[in-house]
Amino acid sequence: MQWYWETRSGQGATQRESEDSTRGRRAEVLGGQQMDGFAGLIEDIVVDAGVPRDSVKHDYHATLPGFYRHEKEWDTAVVHDGELLAVVEYKSQASSFGNNLNNRAEEAIGNNTDIIEAYEEGVFAPSPQPFIGYLMLMADNDESRNVPQLREVNFDVDEQFRDATYVDRMELLCLRMVRKRLVNQSAFILSDGNVGLDGEHWEPNEELKFERFARSLASHVSGHIDFE
């Protein structure tokens, strides 16, 4: 959490030079972007579950073929012994909620539908069904707590979107992707720039807590590692 807010505020370079947690291979493969703190944490969780660190790929090295398109560069992919074990996307939104929230939804639904179809069509054979994870960090502020106007030009909207803030809308997206099995697990985290620099955050939905996300991911990858 600190990494995210420090990078947004321009303090990320100092942090990268000073913190041991970003040294070594992880510092080489992660470019210092805002969500790289989460990518590094996920890498450590997967490694602790038994995956060799070299099997955890990021960004360009996490590029995978799709079904409806030729390829997609995932944020993190776990590829071990020629098998795809997991993919994870990290997203954040701290401003311009009205312009960007629909884009986030379209990206997430499209990406996850594509990789599920690719798996079902044998693109990753002989891989097991991969874990698909989606992590969203959203700023909790007056703008994100605003209730935007609905446009009901032709039909009434889903009642759960009525009187929903931008925070409510994103939480609903994450929850529905889990329940409709577009993802194995999603984490929905809120924070505020004033306290986020101290690492403070909150998780409004029990089904979308990071701990649940991490346990599910670790359990999945460890079940497909040969410990002989």
More confident residue, 225 or 70: 70
Structure tokens at 95: 């401003």
Specify the amino acid at residue 210.
F
- 228: in domain: no
Structure tokens at 183: 């993802």
DSSP 8-state class, residue 150? P
Structure tokens at 145: 């707590």
- The yes-or-no verdict on residue 19 having pLDDT over 70 is no
- 187: in domain: yes
- 227: in domain: no
- 205: in domain: yes
140: left (phi over 0), alpha (psi -120 to 50) or beta: beta
- The yes-or-no verdict on residue 28 having pLDDT over 90 is no
Q: Is 130 helix (H, G, I), strand (E, B) or coil?
A: coil
Predicted local distance difference test score (pLDDT) of residue 23: 38
- 211: in domain: yes
Predicted local distance difference test score (pLDDT) of residue 13: 53
Contact in structure between 50 and 78 (CB atoms under 8 Å): no
Predicted local distance difference test score (pLDDT) of residue 24: 40
Domain count, the chain: 1
- The yes-or-no verdict on residue 228 having pLDDT over 70 is no
What integer best gives the mean pLDDT of the chain? 90
- 139: in domain: yes
- 197: in domain: yes
DSSP 8-state class, residue 60? G
- The closest alpha carbon to 29, from 59, 70, 1, 64, belongs to 59
Cα gap 133→123, rounded to integer Å? 19
Lowest mean pLDDT among 3-17, 49-63, 78-92, 109-123: 3-17
Specify the amino acid at residue 179.
R
Q: What are phi and psi of 159, to 5 degrees?
A: -60, -25
Domain span holding position 22? 2-222
Cα gap 63→147, rounded to integer Å? 37
Structure tokens at 97: 């909620």
Mean pLDDT of 81-102: 92
CA dihedral 206, 79, 74, 185 (to 10 degrees): -10
More confident residue, 15 or 1: 1
**In three state form, how does the secondary structure of 167-226 look?**
HHHHHHHHHHHHHCCCCCEEEEEEECHHHHCCCCCECCCHHHCHHHHHHHHHHHHHCCCC
Residues in Cβ contact with 53 at an 8 Å cutoff, skipping those fewer than 6 apart: 25, 43, 47
Q: What are phi and psi of 3, to 5 degrees?
A: -55, -45
- The yes-or-no verdict on residue 108 having pLDDT over 60 is yes
Lowest mean pLDDT among 11-20, 53-62, 204-213: 11-20
Specify the amino acid at residue 117.
E
Mean pLDDT of 120-131: 97
- 169: in domain: yes
